Chain A
């Protein structure tokens, strides 16, 4: 389904292959690619790293706060411990492991990306992709059912009639509001062109 769908998107899209759009997209992608290579975590001071880590560890006695945000004594002690571990040269992962060993999994503010907890991270990806796919599929089916209804007659001819009645008004409005020649084509497309293209299709 997926390859057919993406093909459908391209095919039914009103855009013809447009060199400028293609160039812009290519540029954007290359900039993104170039950017992805230049993260400089090493520049961050140990203190910044300690703060980041503190934001990823929960305070064991407070409700839903990280040690970074809490003023409880245990949070203060844990922050000092994080800094000590970093001063000794521990990596971020080692610091987290240190606390997980002592307090259990729920000391981490975000679940681990392994084992059962991996679910927490994977499900959102499916939710988002699923949402977009459903949206595209429903647009597609709304188009198809509309076209079928049109060729079969049915209610949409009435609608089309209504639109044709309206088109005089719309043309009038277009004239009233035509704000420079720049968007004229856009507007004529909105009012005049679309019904005719509808007819062409049916």
Chain B
């Protein structure tokens, strides 16, 4: 198996080199056959990447511990389903996975590339082949997943215990796939620029491939957050860790791109700007790869063993120089067709939105790099972590949410005062009412109240537009559901965008709730004892063992009661006096108003070979709040030590996921009906999109 894998990689190396060189020479000397052959070579690299990945996966299935990578990342006890996870669990395997993803999406996008890009395709293929060549080279010479061991161990070390979670089947592949897929729009646009194809021929293909990559990356990040929330046992879901940041930064820039590309599509403006955004996103993705592979900043996620830092740094710098040299070379040709007409127009609001996204990106980059900067400048190490990023990025992110309410309501070109009044009265009124109601209810934390008001403002703005559009179509005879569906269908990019906006609002609710209103308490319980926090009582009913040869593991059976604080007046006032948020009840006596609402099974395991603990938090989730129980440890005296928190609105974080995916797919779904129309009618179809 190892030989097959090595040979496949070598063949892929040769093929991608041939493809890159062949396509350029063929294009230069005008030898069409060579160009075609080079294109086919690019398809064949996909085959070699699939064969190499298949060889590695097969080695896992066969428990072939003669291969170092297999011995390091699996053992005979491992659940067979996790072979797929083990495949990309380490440095070498994840590189192979990235290559696999890149070569597959390259082949698909070259295959389906629109005819009108034929002139620039050779250059696009050359760029894709060079990037593949880089990965084939790294996998062949620096990080081979098929390295053999001198002595074959009887059993492997096992998979990293933190990875044995359903989220791991999709989070890493989506995240890595999303990052690498930024290559596709970048290759199309760079190819067009090199070929001197300055028009808007590349807009659709860049937009579609960018949305796919962006959606995949966004879903990957959300799944990662969910994984962290349920398994990492730290009670959070986003830590502004450098590795999270380097995935977020290109995503932010891509988000800006997806907005401003619509301006180019509809109005023929922002060409230069869109190319710049794609370049930045691509270079940031390379930065992500570099920081992931032995970069200079400390992170929980990075592949500790990797020594590829210098190689990936060089590749990142090379792509930076290439992208912006090309940009400067072709800059004079990338003028806008039309001028901006007003500060109060959708174009203008998209531009401001773009700059806010870029601001968050640059600020985040600044935070990631500041420790290095501080080290170099004055030899003092500092840490830059969540409290910093929350503080500096929070307000700008809120500003972006505000723009999300304003931008879509503004018409293209120029808004009139009358239309402004008509569109903005309701959202503003509802936002203010929301703020007023929250204050009247005695909710604390002004910043959060304002943020809730903003969410209400944006939600009303979207609702208003859907409402008016639906009413209009309903009057012309459709029933309500059909009317709404026709509205959405009439302009999928726009309404898909609204669905994504709704998912972002849901995400915002969860972020505001968990950041501003979380309550926490710690405690240790013996069997039969209970921990009380707010109006929950958590009773430790039973303990179970689930140890295996490679781990010591227990889980607790706990019953959750909703309680009436009046029943516990004495204890609560005593706890308050001690400064605690919760307290422990020694007796298991049920008070009059206690009501069983749920049972949870927090799990804690210690993996001996890894010297690493892994937990499954017990979560009792409702729309309003999660009761979140982390088993910190099962103590020698039979007690279990718990960290308990109440995470308000956390449910919304995960509920946003399906809407995010749905909205992305709606925006992506081809407007087949429109494109098949004859040219004269197509004009109508396109301007219909503007409404």
Contacts and interface: CB of A to CB of B under 8 A. Distances in A.
Interface of A: 9, 12-16, 18, 20-21, 24, 27-28, 31-32, 35-36, 38-40, 43, 45-48, 51, 55-56, 58, 62-66, 68-71, 86-87, 104-111, 116-117, 119-121, 123-124, 127-128, 131-132, 134-136, 138-140, 142-143, 145-147, 149-150, 155-156, 159, 166, 169-170, 172-174, 176-180, 182-183, 185-187, 189-190, 193-194, 197-198
A116 B414 contact: no
A32 B359 CA distance: 24
A104 to B, nearest CB: 7
B359 A190 contact: no
A167 B591 CA distance: 74
A87 B579 contact: yes
B351 to A, nearest CB: 5
Contacts of A116: 374, 377-378, 380
B151 interface: no
Given A39-B446, A109-B388, A117-B374, A134 B338 contact: no
B544 interface: no
Contacts of A12: 342-343
Contacts of B529: none
Given A15-B417, A45-B580, A186 B687 contact: no
A169 B683 CA distance: 7
Contacts of A170: 687
Contact of A189 (B337, B377, B415): B415
Interface in B599-639: 613, 632-633
Contact of A131 (B235, B358, B428): B358
Interface of A is mostly: helix
22 contacts: A14-B416, A21-B421, A45-B576, A45-B579, A64-B385, A71-B633, A107-B383, A109-B388, A120-B384, A120-B388, A132-B356, A139-B343, A139-B348, A142-B269, A142-B336, A146-B340, A173-B688, A183-B422, A185-B422, A189-B414, A190-B413, A193-B414
B414 A135 contact: no
A169 B684 contact: yes
| Interface-centre pick from B378, B388, B432, B445 (highest chain A CB count, 10 A) | B388
Contacts of A56: 387
B414 A197 contact: yes
B421 A18 contact: yes
A172 B302 CA distance: 58
A48 B428 CA distance: 35
Contact of B432 (A27, A117, A159, A173): A27
A164 B404 CA distance: 31
A167 to B, nearest CB: 10
Interface stretch (B59-67, B166-174, B360-368): B360-368
Given A173-B687, A173-B688, A198-B341, A185 B418 contact: yes
Interface string B288-305: 000000000011101000
A128 B396 contact: yes
A126 B497 CA distance: 30
B385 A166 contact: no
A179 B471 contact: yes
Contact of A135 (B351, B415, B688): B351
Contacts of A155: 337
Nearest to B335: A155
Given A106-B383, A116-B374, A123-B366, A20 B421 contact: yes
B241 interface: yes
B440 to A, nearest CB: 12
Given A65-B234, A110-B385, 7 more contacts: A68-B234, A134-B355, A135-B352, A140-B343, A185-B416, A185-B422, A186-B415
Nearest to A155: B337
A14 B351 contact: no
Contact of B300 (A32, A63, A140): A63
Contacts of A109: 383-388
Closest 10 CB pairs of A and B: A146-B339, A179-B472, A46-B579, A69-B234, A35-B446, A110-B388, A186-B419, A142-B340, A109-B385, A135-B355
A131 B419 contact: no
A69 B446 contact: no
Given A131-B359, A147-B339, A111 B234 contact: no
Nearest to B576: A45
A48 B235 CA distance: 14
Contacts of B633: 71
B388 A32 contact: no
Contacts of B366: 120, 123-124, 127
B428 A124 contact: no
B683 A110 contact: no
B573 to A, nearest CB: 12
A24 B687 CA distance: 34
A24 B580 contact: no
B358 A120 contact: no
